Amino acid sequence: MGDQSRPMRAVAASVLLAVENGESLSQCLPPALQSLAPNERPVLQALCYGTCRWFHRLDSELNDRLKKPLKKPDRVIHHLMMVALFQLRFSQQANYAVLNESVEACRALDKPHLTGLVNGVLRSAEREGAPEPTTDASRFSHPVWMVKKLRHNWPDNWQQILEANNAQAPMTLRVNALRFSRDEYLALLNEAGIEATATRFAPYGIQLSHPVQVDQLPWFADGAVSVQDEAAQLCTTLLDLAPGQRILDACAAPGGKTCAILENQLELAEVVAIDESAARLPRVQENLDRLDLRASLLQADAANTEQWWDGQPFDRILLDVPCSASGVIRRHPDIKLLRRETDIVPLAAIQLGLLAAMWSVLKPGGRLLYATCSVFPQENHRIIQRFLKKQADAVLATPDVQWGCDMGAGRQLLPDPVSHDGFFYAVLEKPEL
């Protein structure tokens, strides 16, 4: 990647190969975008996201069309054909252009011996049309294990979840309450010709009817609003923030919730924001700077409290643990390719370990909010149940809210095709001594 002379679809094929080899789109797409002219960048982005979203359906079709799989060094051509199939099946692009450009890109990728194959496969795909999906994995375009797991975990909702995962997520904003009321900002958007409505559950949320570039949003650079899903915004409604509290955001990067907390309560004593990723932590500072907010940032493994804790307990802890991200697949369709079934048990062990460690730094009388963007109970209410069994002084609170479903140990939001992401929250309280 990064070769200026490569046609866009050759770049797209290389990005998809990188995703297949374990890189996320957020890692491998930015350098690829930079290698293209500005007018081509949105198209590359749409091709990569769209092909990931429909990967499992298109892959099943392509494998059926190929007599035998391509050899490993030629694997990029498999992805070149995937991009073309995505366009044939899901875009308005003229078929002849898709075919011609794909053959050209095959040459640009130094695989002239495969141009005949690319041409033949795509010609028959065009002529024969899309095959009827024969399995749920290909119908809903998800890995087999995910379909099975969701069906097992959510017997009444699994199809709805899979469909929501393939929908286009809305762009949602959080109004910075220190700058504007939600109604004031809605009026500014209206003046700017940007159609938007107030979110149903998050008090500062605004959902746009159509996504826009952030620099089109009134006063964005000056910290008037942030882009944040409605479900993520709900964290502040559950923390019961008050002046003088010392807050810990234990897994903070890129800082969306850290900033929401600071906007919500101006007179906190301190907000400590930890993240173990040196690469991600600067994103927290960037967000704080844009919003003109302050927090103490620490790069550390939060679970290793000896490494970073000064011995002063926290009144409130937000623990937004690393998870499968199975609730935000519509925003990150590469998760379908990157996540493995075998990831879940180790993730649950990390989540439980972090929860136990954070409990030890919570003040008696304090509150801990456990959060994930997962829809798998193994990472959600089952973690809370396991924790409550071994932590005698932990008390589960049952907040009075209108959203999500009560799982007995926390509340689950499923991804909603027209509004919020999939998310899980549980509130735990430590009694006064």
Ligand X SMILES: C[S@@+](CC[C@H](N)C(=O)[O-])C[C@H]1O[C@@H](n2cnc3c(N)ncnc32)[C@H](O)[C@@H]1O
Residues lying near ligand X in the complex (CB under 6 A) are found at 232, 251-257, 274-277, 280, 301-303, 320, 322, 354
The answer to whether residue 373 is catalytic is yes
Question: Closest approach of Cβ 371 to ligand X, in Å?
Answer: 8
DSSP three-state, residue 41: helix
Of 107, 25, 119, 52, nearest to 81 by C-alpha is 119
Q: Name the residue nearer to ligand X (CB basis): 195 or 289.
A: 289
Nearer to ligand X, 337 or 355 (CB): 355
Question: For ligand X, which is the closer residue by CB, 161 or 251?
Answer: 251
| Token representation of residue 11 | 């770049």
Q: Smaller CB distance to ligand X: residue 357 or 428?
A: 357
Which region holds residue 424: left if phi is over 0, alpha if psi is between -120 and 50, else beta?
beta
Q: How far apart are CA 82 and CA 90, in angstroms?
A: 12
| CA 44/CA 41 separation, integer angstroms | 5
How many angstroms separate the CA atoms of 175 and 225, rounded?
A: 5
Question: Reduced to 3 states, what is the DSSP secondary structure of residue 12?
Answer: helix
Phi–psi pair at 323, nearest 5 degrees: -150, -175
CB of 261 to ligand X, least distance (A): 10
By C-alpha distance, which of 77, 41, 82 is closest to 337?
A: 82
Rounded to 5 degrees, what are φ and ψ at 348?
-60, -35
- Would you say 257 or 339 has its CB closer to ligand X? 257
d(CA 291, CA 377): 35
At closest approach, how far in Å is the CB of 410 from ligand X? Answer: 16
Let me know if 165 is exposed, middle or buried by CB neighbors in 10 A (0-12, 13-18, 19+).
Answer: buried
**Smallest gap from residue 285 Cβ to ligand X (A):** 13
Query: Would you give the distance in Å from CA 266 to the centre of its chain?
Result: 28
- Which residues, listed in sequence order, are joined to residue 429 by a DSSP beta bridge? 367, 395
Q: Supply angle C-alpha 193, 196, 202, rounded to 5.
A: 150
Q: Which residue's beta carbon is nearest to the bound ligand X?
A: 251
Task: Find the shortest distance in angstroms from Cβ 354 to ligand X.
Answer: 6
Which residues lie closer than 8 Å to 20 by C-beta, 6 or more apart? Answer: 75, 79, 337
Region of residue 311 (left: phi > 0; alpha: psi -120 to 50; beta: else): left
Closer of 30 and 155 to ligand X (Cβ): 30
Query: Which residue lies nearer to ligand X by CB, 43 or 350?
Result: 350
Residue 431: how many CA atoms within 13 Å on its side-chain side?
Answer: 7
CB of 345 vs ligand X, minimal distance in Å: 16
Q: Which of 48, 52, 106, 373 is catalytic?
A: 373
User: Looking at the annotation, which residues are catalytic?
Assistant: 373
